[in-house]
Structure 1
Amino acid sequence: MKRYEQLDKLIADHGGIVQTSQVIAEGISKPVFYDYVKAKKMEQVAHGVYASADTWTDSLYLIHIRSKQAIFSHETALFLHDLTVREPAPYSITVKTGYNPTRLKDDGIQVYTVKPELHQVGCTSAQTPFGHMVPVYDMERTICDLIRSRKGIEIQTFQDAIKQYVGRKDKNLRTLMQYASLFRVEKILRQYLEVLL
């Protein structure tokens, strides 16, 4: 029974979601864990990821658990930074070039790729609506990403995001211009900012 109590605590500590690897790291064997999963009617929500029956599924957190390299970007980053009122569908992530995103794409996730040296630029973290912390690009990087991918993004979403950003007290225009230069979108960004500032 001690193992089950240990599992109860582990799952409670992780907000109702646990990975098989976390269970093994606690010294609990797979057969014991799978018996527990059956007994507690836990649901397998992703490969090697289980959620307790009473847990609301936090899709953003699940994507993060499945792909540690993924950073939330584009419309999903806008949502996490309160720069849009619309919940993103599909969710957008950015991974390094060379990463195989087939499984994520099969699950309907929009996957962008970027050179490895640009992958961590502007990476921070934000809280999902369910209270989990996930990696996300900061507002400035997100604005630059939207400009870079503007052909695939609704113009209304893009314009609203820039207006919202300009009105924010926590904006950092210096960082925005540094990123714009790094991602080669300075000229286009200046045109938008001239209209709004």
Structure 2
Amino acid sequence: MKKTVYDLLKKYNGTLILKDATAAGVSRVTLKRMVDNREIEREYPGVYTLPGQFADELLVAQAKFDKGIISHATALDLYDLSDDIPKKIHLTVPYNYHISAESLKKYAVEVHYTKPEWYAVGKTVTQSYVGNPIIAYDMERTLCDIWNPWSKSSEEIKIKSLQGYMTKKERDLNKLSRYRKIIPTSDEMKYYIKSLV
């Protein structure tokens, strides 16, 4: 079983989530023994790493908050659309999803709520900073969230993110236009897009 644990740690770039371990047939007893023997460390409840290694915080946040989709400032950073390094992990969840204030603080998460009909718009699988698969909003949805009239993002971040997006080969202005018809965005966004095309 230890070999399976090490294989999983390798597969997930040094971070093992309990549900992935149990799905592979690793028992909690095995993990506890390995922790007790200092072969692995328990970073958070249900999260294991090799000794001295940092956990993949985005993977951990999604394991803890299963409805959370990486969004806003964190998604901007993932797509290299901003110079700002987010102090917290930004997750979007449906309105009816409850997260305790204690959990938000413990996992350094800032939560954004969205209407159920908007929740899946732009949802995609991408890679965390260390290469693990995570669920995030795509670039177009992220821009819509940043340019939403209720967004707390600064004008500088809004403009720089749009400028960065326009330099990307994989940008999709048709998709961005479709999303803007679904998710409210500031009228200024349209003018900035026109000036950058």
Query: Could you tell me the TM-score, scaled by structure 1's length?
Result: 0.87
SS in 2 for 1:148: coil
Task: Map Cα deviations across residues 61-92 of structure 1 (whole Å, 9 max, x no partner).
Answer: 21122223211111111111111123222221
Partner of 1:180: 180
Partner of 2:86: 88
Task: Map Cα deviations across residues 123-178 of structure 1 (whole Å, 9 max, x no partner).
Answer: 11222221212111111111110111555112211111111112323211111111
* Distance in 2 separating the partners of 1:9 and 1:90: 30
Structure 2: 5+ residue stretches without partners: none
* Distance in 1 separating the partners of 2:103 and 2:116: 19
Change in 2 beyond 3 A, CA 1:6/1:127: closer
Aligned residues: 195
Mean CA deviation greater in 169-178 or 42-51: 42-51
Q: Is the 8 A contact 1:47 1:66 kept in 2?
A: no
Alpha-carbon RMSD? 2.1
* Distance in 2 separating the partners of 1:23 and 1:172: 38
* Distance in 2 separating the partners of 1:24 and 1:32: 10
Question: Aligned ranges for residues 7-156 of structure 1 at < 5 Å?
Answer: 7-102=5-100, 103-107=102-106, 108-148=108-148, 151-156=151-156
Matched to 1:29, the amino acid is S
* Distance in 1 separating the partners of 2:129 and 2:26: 31
Matched to 1:139, the amino acid is M
Runs (4+) of structure 1 moved beyond 4 Å? Answer: none
* Distance in 2 separating the partners of 1:22 and 1:77: 24
Partner of 1:164: 164
Matched to 2:79, the amino acid is H
* Distance in 2 separating the partners of 1:113 and 1:183: 13
Change in 2 beyond 3 A, CA 1:32/1:154: same
Matched to 1:89, the amino acid is K
